Amino acid sequence: MSRATLLDSRQFLARKSFIELNARERAQALMDQGTFRELLGPFDRLESPWLPMQGVVPQADDGLIVARGRIGGKDSVILAIEGRFQGGSAGEVSGAKMTAALDLAHEDGEKGRPIQVVLLLETGGVRLQEANLGLEAIAEINSSLVALRQHVPVIGVIAGMVGCFGGMSITASLCSYLIMTREARLGLNGPEVIEEIAGIEEFDARDRQFIWGVTGGEQRHATGFADDLVEDDVEAVKKCIIEAFGLGIPSKHRSEQVDDYLKRLAAIDVSDQLECSAVRKLEWKKESL
Amino acid sequence: MNAEQTPRTRGRIWFEALAGKYAKLVPSVPSVLVADTTLQNERVRFLAVVPDPDNRFPCARQGQVGLQEGWNLAKQVREAIQADEKGEKRAIVAIVDVPSQAYGRREELLGIFLAAAAATDAYVSARLAGHPVISLLAGHAISGGYLTHGAQSNRLLAFNDPGVMIHAMAKKAAALVTRRSVEELDKLAEKVIPMSYRVEDYAKLGTLYKLIDGVNVDSPEAKHVEQVRADLLAAIADARSGQRDLSSRLQSEGARKSRSATLEVRRRLAEQWNVG
C-alpha cells in the first residue's frame, strides 16, 4: 500500500479539510451517513478527577471520542483524540476509554463479530498532570492493541496539526496500518524537549522546515514508517481507511520485523549527524509494505 | 570494553546478582544484557539495559533506551518465544533501571518510536503466548524507556528505596514542559498521587505486585539476593496461574482506591457498547 494518494486540481478545489474538524466531527465524517453513535459522550460526564485538583478545567469527555457506526458498510469503532484539549494528552479517563474500547472490540473479534478499529491520533503523549496514570494508560492501550490486532486490523491516522508524540508514537507504530497527511508529524520526543536535553546543534526546535523534514508525514511515508500519505480531505482519508481495511491483517506487522530493521540499523553509518535526505536514500522500505 | 570502564549501575548489579555465576550469557549488544539461568525449577531469561559509553549512537550512551536497545530487546524476547514455542514457556525477567528514552536526531530519523514498539510488541506477545513476564524496578523507570522495557509485564516488583523512580518524565524535563519549577512539581505531587516521584506513592496506584522492603539496592548482600529470588519465583508462579493480560493491575486494592475513574469507564462503556 506504499503510495501517496494525490488529488488533481478539480479534486483539490472540491476537498473538505479533515484537519480543520474537531475530534467528534472527524469521527462523524468518517462514519457512513446516519450510523454515528457516540459512547461515553459529554453527557456521561466522565472527566478527569486529577485536573480540578490542579486548577485545570476538565472536559466532560476528557478529550476522547468513542464512536460506533459503519465505515464502508462494516461495523466500526473510531477512537478520536481531541488535540484541542490538553494537547490531546493521555490521561486516566481518556486512556481508559481507549483501552476499554479496544478490549470490547477484542471480545467481539473472538466471538466472530469483527469490528474495524480506527485510531485518530492527535496527541503529545502522556498528560503530565496525570503523569504516572497517563504512562500506565499508554502501557495498557499498547497491550490491548497488540492483543486486538491478532483478530482485526487496526488503522492509525495522524492528520495534524498536533501530530503524534510521546508514548502514543509507540501506539501509532503498533497499528496494522498507519496513515498520515503532509501536515502531520510523528516522533517519540517533542522537538523542544530534544533541544533542551541534547542541544540546539542536535535539534533546532524553531526550524520548522527541519522539524517537518524529520517528523513530517512525507518523510515518514518515504522512509516506510507510515503506509500511506493522504491529502487533507475527508473523502480521501475515508477512502484510504477503507482500502487499508481491505488489505486485512498484515502477515507481519511492522513492529514484528525485527531482523529486517536490525540489519538496516547495522548498515547505517551514524558516526556523523544524519540528514533527512540521507535517510530517505536508505533501504528502509520493504517491498511488501 | 573492559569491565573497569563499565559503570556499575543498578541494572548491572542486579542482573549479575540475580542471574548468578552459572548463568549462560546470551550474545548481545553491550547495552542489552541477556542471560539464561534456572531459579529452582523455573528457567528464566534475564534482560537489562545498561550504559555503554561506546554506543555508536551518542545520545544513548548513559543507559537511555534507544534504537539498538529497543530492537535488541525485541530480538532477545522473540528468540525466547520461538525457542519455547512447543514446550514449557520460560519466565522472562526485565531488570529495569532506565533514565529515559534516547533524545536525539538520529533516533527520531531512524524511528525510535518503532524500536520502542517492537520491544513492546515482543513483551506483550511473550505474555500472550504464556510466558510469565516479570519486571524488577531497581532504579529509574522513566517515560519511553520504561514503556519499552518494563511496562508490559504480568507482574511488577519494585524496591522500596529512594533511588527507585517510576515516572512519565524526568523531573527537569517535566518542569520545562509544564512551565513549573522543580519545587512546585514536588509540592503538587504531595496531593496528586500520580504526579509523585516517590515509589511509596507509586505503589498506591495498585499496579505493583510487590514493593520489596529491606534490601540494600546499591550493594546487596547474599541474603538480599536470595530474598529477591524468592520474590521473583512467587511472582512467576502467580503469573502462571493468572490472566495473560494486564487486568491484575486493576484488581488490586490500590486500583480500587486510586483508579476508580478507570474502573467506572470500563463498566459504563461495556454497558453502552451494544445498545442502540
d(CA B226, CA B220): 10
d(CA B46, CA B80): 11
Task: Write down the pLDDT at residue B276.
Answer: 60
Q: Name residue, grid cell 504516572.
A: A132
CB-CB under 8 Å, A170 with B148? yes
Percent with pLDDT over 70 in chain B: 97
Over range B170-175, report the average pLDDT.
80
Residue in A39, A170, A187 closest to B147 by CB: A170
Count of CB atoms situated within 10 Å of the CB of B257: 12
d(CA A23, CA A32): 16
Task: Write down the pLDDT at residue A287.
Answer: 44
3-state secondary structure chain B: CCHHHCCCCHHHHHHHHHHCCCCEECCCCCCEEEEEEEECCEEEEEEEECCCCCCCCHHHCCCCECHHHHHHHHHHHHHHHHHCCCCCCCEEEEEEEECCECCCHHHHHCCHHHHHHHHHHHHHHHHHHCCCEEEEEEEEEEHHHHHHCCCCCCEEEEECCCCCEEECCCHHHHHHHHCCCHHHHHHHHHHCHHHCCCHHHHHCCCCCCEEECCCCCCCCCHHHHHHHHHHHHHHHHHHHCCCCCCHHHHCCHHHHHHCHHHHHHHHHHHHHHCCC
Identify whether A178 is part of a domain.
yes
β-pair type (B24-25, A228-230): unpaired
- The pLDDT tens digits for A221-280 are 999 999 999 999 999 999 999 999 999 999 999 999 999 999 999 989 999 999 888 888
- The pLDDT tens digits for B174-201 are 887 778 888 888 888 888 999 999 999 9
Interface test with A, best of B68, B112, B114 (most A CBs within 10 A): B114
Lowest mean pLDDT among A100-104, B79-83, B134-138, B187-191: B187-191
Mean of pLDDT over chain B: 94
Residue in B121, B147, B194 closest to A50 by CB: B194
Over range B38-64, report the average pLDDT.
97
Cβ–Cβ under 8 Å, residues A221 and A228: yes
Q: Name residue, grid cell 503466548.
A: B129
Identify whether A286 is part of a domain.
no
Over range B204-222, report the average pLDDT.
97
Percent with pLDDT over 90 in chain B: 87
Q: Which domain holds residue A188?
A: 3-281
Over range A56-66, report the average pLDDT.
97
Q: Residue A28 pLDDT more than 60?
A: yes
Over range A88-116, report the average pLDDT.
97
Task: Write down the pLDDT at residue B2.
Answer: 44
Over range B220-224, report the average pLDDT.
96
> For residue B80, which amino acid is it?
A
CB-CB under 8 Å, B57 with A39? no
pTM: 0.96
- Tally of domains in chain A: 1
Task: Write down the pLDDT at residue B188.
Answer: 86
Task: Write down the pLDDT at residue A285.
Answer: 56
CB-CB under 8 Å, A134 with B121? no
Q: Residue A11 pLDDT more than 80?
A: no
Provide the pLDDT confidence category of residue B1 given band limits of 50, 70 and 90. very low
Task: Write down the pLDDT at residue A184.
Answer: 98
Identify whether A289 is part of a domain.
no
Over range A88-104, report the average pLDDT.
98
Task: Write down the pLDDT at residue B175.
Answer: 82
Within 8 A of B72 by CB-CB distance, chain A residues are 262
Q: Residue A8 pLDDT more than 60?
A: yes
Domains observed in chain B: 3-245 (3.90.226.10), 247-276 (no CATH)
CATH code of A249's domain: 3.90.226.10
CB-CB under 8 Å, B118 with A261? yes
Percent with pLDDT over 70 in chain A: 95
Identify whether A74 is part of a domain.
yes
Q: Residue B173 pLDDT more than 50?
A: yes
E runs forming strands in chain A: 3-5, 37-39, 64-71, 74-81, 116-120, 154-158, 177-180, 228-230
Q: What is the ipTM of this complex?
A: 0.96
The DSSP element (H or E) to which A243 belongs, if any, is: helix A234-246
